[in-house]
């Protein structure tokens, strides 16, 4: 199963319910399915396969795709050049305000890839069903720096500052906080002209994600993190610092120093204390890259998959990882590191 195809399946499956009771299993270059305890249920005989969804899975035999059920029976003939996973949608019905629920999959019998929609019997639908707006999962992205251009008329109390760059509020307080510049240095004061962060930093930026706010500070070329009340969270000792939004609105801080990458929480506690060449957040944990450029995975329950793969990505739902092996082949592993493939 090619890496491009396997990632296409994951993108397609992220918007519907994946059935994890059977796991795609590879033996050499052929694919079948195994139970979670690695017992082969459907013998590996297909060139590519997708995950089961709504009781059916797309399988490729030669150059064409069809669909099998969980008994391994080919219930929709292999005649498609494209075969996406089944999902629930709705077709208009004048007698039913919500429309009629129907299982459908995008498919194509043309080499051009022009898609039609079929039902679970392989019959082409007159039109493709609508899908709920909430069926697409949110992407987890790094918290962005927010800079707002405003005009301020605040009196400059005894020459405290030269220019105000930004302002913000803190939940539970009526105070306004100002990020300001004096000479070439930045600091923060409140509307009572009390210093919150002294003018010692070459840059201060406001980081915001929902109700969570932080201050990214730079001093002597090194970056740290403050709370918006001026409390130091991560000292300015890092060549790079990124705050990412994890599950359940939990923030993590990815820091780099001395050529290594680590992860902390927003109380400066170590999450990943071993240094790696690179670490990126992936929904449910972190992809870690070793000095040999191979990748592993750190789960938030403190379990590790050691770096031994060229690609690692969490499947929707957090139950399996899709990987690419050193031999250039794809496969799946569970959080315990059990591999659902043999080379």
pLDDT digits (tens, 9 = 90+) for 285-305: 999 999 999 999 999 888 999
* DSSP category for residue 85: P
| Least confident segment among 1-5, 57-61, 78-82, 128-132 | 1-5
Residue 6 sits at φ, ψ, to 5 deg, of: -65, -40
Percent of the chain whose predicted confidence (pLDDT) is above 90: 75
Question: Between 96 and 28, whose confidence is greater?
Answer: 28
Taking a C-beta distance cutoff of 8 angstroms, is the pair 60, 68 a contact? no
pLDDT of residue 10: 44
Nearest to 206 by CA among 291, 137, 147: 147
Question: Between 148 and 41, whose confidence is greater?
Answer: 41
Report strand pairing: 341-342 vs 23-27.
parallel
d(Cα 312, Cα 296) in Å, to the nearest integer?
A: 7
Give the rounded distance of the alpha carbon of 103 from its chain centre: 27
pLDDT of residue 3: 41
* DSSP category for residue 293: S
pLDDT of residue 148: 60
pLDDT of residue 169: 92
Q: Does residue 202 register a pLDDT over 50?
A: yes
Arithmetic mean of pLDDT, 5-26: 68
**What are the tokens at 289?**
């890259």
Cβ neighbours of residue 209 closer than 8 Å, sequence gap 6 or more: 143, 144, 243, 245, 251
Arithmetic mean of pLDDT, 326-334: 96
> Given the structure tokens 């250039």, which residue do they identify?
328
CB atoms within 10 A of CB 163: 10
d(Cα 46, Cα 1) in Å, to the nearest integer?
A: 9
pLDDT of residue 150: 80
d(Cα 252, Cα 76) in Å, to the nearest integer?
A: 46
pLDDT of residue 139: 37
pLDDT of residue 210: 63
Between the ranges 95-99, 130-134, 146-150, 305-309, where is the mean pLDDT highest? 305-309
Give the rounded distance of the alpha carbon of 122 from its chain centre: 33
Q: Which long-range contacts (CB under 8 A, 24 or more apart) does 179-187 make?
A: 179/204, 179/205, 179/206, 179/215, 186/217, 187/161
Residue 8 binned pLDDT confidence (cut-offs 50, 70, 90): very low
Q: Collapsing DSSP states into helix, strand and coil, what is residue 340?
A: coil
d(Cα 157, Cα 81) in Å, to the nearest integer?
A: 71
Average pLDDT, whole number, for the chain? 89
| Least confident segment among 112-116, 120-124, 154-158, 311-315 | 154-158
Arithmetic mean of pLDDT, 274-278: 97
Q: Does residue 13 register a pLDDT over 80?
A: no
Q: Does residue 138 register a pLDDT over 70?
A: no
Taking a C-beta distance cutoff of 8 angstroms, is the pair 332, 341 a contact? yes
Q: Does residue 248 register a pLDDT over 90?
A: no
d(Cα 259, Cα 124) in Å, to the nearest integer?
A: 56
d(Cα 168, Cα 179) in Å, to the nearest integer?
A: 8
């Amino acid at each position: 199963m090619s890496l491009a195809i396997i990632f296409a399946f994951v993108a397609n499956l992220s918007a519907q319910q994946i059935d994890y009771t059977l796991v795609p299993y590879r033996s050499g270059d052929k694919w079948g399915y195994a139970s979670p305890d690695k017992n082969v249920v459907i013998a590996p005989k297909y060139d590519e396969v997708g995950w089961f969804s709504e009781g059916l899975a797309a399988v490729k035999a030669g150059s064409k795709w069809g669909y099998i059920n969980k008994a391994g029976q080919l219930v929709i003939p292999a005649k498609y050049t494209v075969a996406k996973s089944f999902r629930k949608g709705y077709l208009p019905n004048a007698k039913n305000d919500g429309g009629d629920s129907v299982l459908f999959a995008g498919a194509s019998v043309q080499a051009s890839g022009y898609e039609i929609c079929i039902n679970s019997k392989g019959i082409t639908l007159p039109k493709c069903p609508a899908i709920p707006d909430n069926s697409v999962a949110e992407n987890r992205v790094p918290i962005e720096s927010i800079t707002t251009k405003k005009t301020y008329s605040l009196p400059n109390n005894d020459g405290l500052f030269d220019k105000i760059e930004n302002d913000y509020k803190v939940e539970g307080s009526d105070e306004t906080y100002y990020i300001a510049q004096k000479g070439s240095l930045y600091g923060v004061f409140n509307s009572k002209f009390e210093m919150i962060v002294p003018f010692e930093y070459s840059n201060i930026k406001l980081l915001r994600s929902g109700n969570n706010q932080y201050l990214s500070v730079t001093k002597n070329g090194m970056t740290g993190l403050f709370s918006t009340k001026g409390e130091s969270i991560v000292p300015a000792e890092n060549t790079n610092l990124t705050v990412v939004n994890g599950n359940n609105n939990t923030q993590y801080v990815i820091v780099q120093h001395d050529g290594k990458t680590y992860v902390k929480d927003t109380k400066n506690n170590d999450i990943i204390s071993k240094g790696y060449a690179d670490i990126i957040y992936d929904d449910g944990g972190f992809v870690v890259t070793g000095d040999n450029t191979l990748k592993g995975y750190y789960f938030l329950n403190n379990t590790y998959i050691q770096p031994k793969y060229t690609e690692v990505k969490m499947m929707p739902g957090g139950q399996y990882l899709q990987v690419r092996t050193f031999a250039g082949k794809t496969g799946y592993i569970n959080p315990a590191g059990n591999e659902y493939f043999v080379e």
